[in-house]
Structure 1
């Protein structure tokens, strides 16, 4: 039997690694270390169905305690690793105890960026969306008629705005860049999503930054914006991106960039340490990227399980993402980094659209807005490496199935 595997991080990637290894009949002793007080659970529904009261927390958990016991997976909750001793092959916990490992997996995820205290980030009522504690605090704040300021026009901010409007709050969203989704999507996708939010009553203010939050008795009560206006707010959601949790790797001397550098086999610069999920900086299309998605966390963790189980199979990412806002499902296949051309195509039913991305003439990604056929077709093209016929894409009456013929 192989020596102990220690998994630092009890999120999607950490659980997926343990589950895949047990599915592969790998019997090595395993310890998962997590800072939260609950067993591993799904995060995406936290800011949607859980927050809306449509899904109880127990339905979010991957497995109950009996699964971990039956599969000989030790879980240490409400604790965290202070440092890694690579020469001794141990991790030191915050209470001073140590855990020895034969192999170590870093599935430490990422942390939402917060506003600095100098602009009011330390005021009560200034929240982020990441874990169950965040969602529980938001649940208390999201009461009908209250005024919410969302800072950041990325997917996290837009999803939070959608839930708040559905719950009857007044929502203002500010984005410092020229438009929402500027970093992650084409202007065509941004325009469609902006129109959807405006139709649902969200006030979107682009090219507008935050100067400072104003507090009353320690709690946020107003916001001064870069256009000189001051608006009343009851609470604030900050959605300005995340930073990878790579401190342990950095301090132990592993190669780190914008995340923990791994090779195509999920190994770090120390062959006995793997990394996966949001914290990992992986090779993709001759670049190093971090893929912040559930799909990548699971796929990369399962790829690491194969390697740990003795199969030297490289991880070849095939990214896909999704975002639910109101009754709109935005599905994304591929990775649009470096795109230089887009094609906007209306779908076959009202309100459906797709945006097709190209780089140097090659198809690299598709955004499908309420258009499952476009998503499936685009994903199959990417999986097979077949280039879409431009004439079919340009013919809005053509069936997208012809792209796969």
Structure 2
């Protein structure tokens, strides 16, 4: 039975919000739990939108966090298709778009991020896409299928993880793909110049064309449909569709209007929270893509937009709201599958933060582990088509030990030996 004396409201019905609601119940909270989402869909996970669901290896139902009936069975009150339009920390209420006002004792903001938009002529044309929501993925899946049948072209702005995964999916359907990227390699801000070329080579082998050192400047069309995409260096690429994959911005408008402290853009932006995921208001917490965490492991602020962070920070925030002692120090983690390449990345190595990249294994065969080091300490590690090494990689990051790069690069030296 629900105890109506205590109410926790969760704004954002994505993975972080749904996992927070689940944790509140599993931890024994008997008060009201209200989960609010601006989409009509029940909470779902986003990685399949550019992976399994998009390529057709996973069914639509597989993306959902829980079965529909689970929420009622666990007394989770759902308000779907309803944005929160106002947060009043003084009154401790939120107002929904339909005028409903809901009180809270504790509030979790899990509002996520939204795709950055192309600010160029032609974005109003049919055939210009973003990929953030299930509805976007459904539309894009249909588009890629059609392009494959008709030998059509898609131009992708951005060679980050989403851009590359969609490129792989598009080639799987038989569509022609051109990726426009201002940096000299894919994934430049994540992998640096040292390893971005691995992904460029992979995609070129599968027929993807790259145009580096340029940005899209205009999308031209006829009768409301896309015909071509022109870059700022004057080149024109034929296109039937264009995908904007130029990153995402944390959805902070609600928090900002309520007077909560935001993190500096130079530190990743988002809502500033401490290690317990508490905001500048002691009764308001934030988790998932929107939260910029005072991270105990990194020694600074960190905002992470990946699946594992939503999966783990939502429950951590729930426990903190229940008064548990929480220090969120998870090593950032994400994964990607492109063609026959599978990879996992642990840690964080921003440009300028490392002084050496060490690889063990065969980079040419795309079977290796890469380590980003700073004065011999491991900041991040990426395993490519090498498995069951995530735990030792993360332990090396946590240890802060100074390692011998030559031994680290030697595949005959077990990773576990560096932890003894």
**1:51 alignment partner, SS class:** helix
1:303 aligns with 2:305: no
CA contact (8 A) 1:246 1:260 kept: yes
- Residue 359 of structure 1, CA deviation: 1.9
Between Structure 1 and Structure 2, how many residues are aligned?
404
2:266 match: none
CA contact (8 A) 2:358 2:405 kept: no
1:334 match: 347
2:276 match: 265
1:313-366 residue CA offsets vs partner (Å, 9 max, x unmatched) = 211131111111112112111111222221122249943022211123321111
1:210 aligns with 2:212: no
**2:191 alignment partner, SS class:** coil
- Once the two structures are overlaid, the 10-residue window that deviates more, 261-270 or 281-290, is 281-290
Q: Distance in 2 between matches of 1:342 and 1:403?
A: 17
**2:190 alignment partner, SS class:** coil
Q: Distance in 2 between matches of 1:374 and 1:347?
A: 16
1:358-378 residue CA offsets vs partner (Å, 9 max, x unmatched) = 123321111111122554431
1:153-181 residue CA offsets vs partner (Å, 9 max, x unmatched) = 11111111111111111000010122221
Compared CA separation, residues 380 and 286, structure 1 to 2 (3 A): closer
Which ranges of structure 1 fall in alignment gaps of 5 or more residues?
none
1:194 aligns with 2:200: yes
1:133 match: 135
- Once the two structures are overlaid, the 10-residue window that deviates more, 130-139 or 357-366, is 357-366
Q: Distance in 2 between matches of 1:127 and 1:84?
A: 31
1:366 match: 381
- Residue 55 of structure 1, CA deviation: 1.6
1:278 match: 289
Matches within 5 A, 1:110-129: 110-116=113-119, 118-129=120-131
Structure 1 stretches (4+) deviating beyond 6 angstroms? Answer: none
CA contact (8 A) 1:260 1:275 kept: yes
- Residue 182 of structure 1, CA deviation: 1.3
1:271-293 residue CA offsets vs partner (Å, 9 max, x unmatched) = 11000010111113232221011
1:356 aligns with 2:371: yes
Q: Distance in 2 between matches of 1:282 and 1:223?
A: 38
Matches within 5 A, 1:19-34: 19-34=22-37
1:394 match: 409
Q: Distance in 2 between matches of 1:241 and 1:394?
A: 32
TM-score by length of 2: 0.92
- Residue 249 of structure 1, CA deviation: 0.2
- Residue 311 of structure 1, CA deviation: 1.1
- Residue 208 of structure 1, CA deviation: 2.0
Q: Distance in 2 between matches of 1:193 and 1:375?
A: 20
Matches within 5 A, 1:6-405: 6-116=9-119, 118-142=120-144, 143=146, 144=148, 145-257=151-263, 258-284=269-295, 285-337=298-350, 338-347=353-362, 350-405=365-420
Q: Distance in 1 between matches of 2:188 and 2:115?
A: 18
- Residue 221 of structure 1, CA deviation: 1.0
Q: Distance in 1 between matches of 2:366 and 2:184?
A: 25
**2:180 alignment partner, SS class:** strand
Q: CA RMSD, aligned part only? A: 1.8
TM-score by length of 1: 0.95
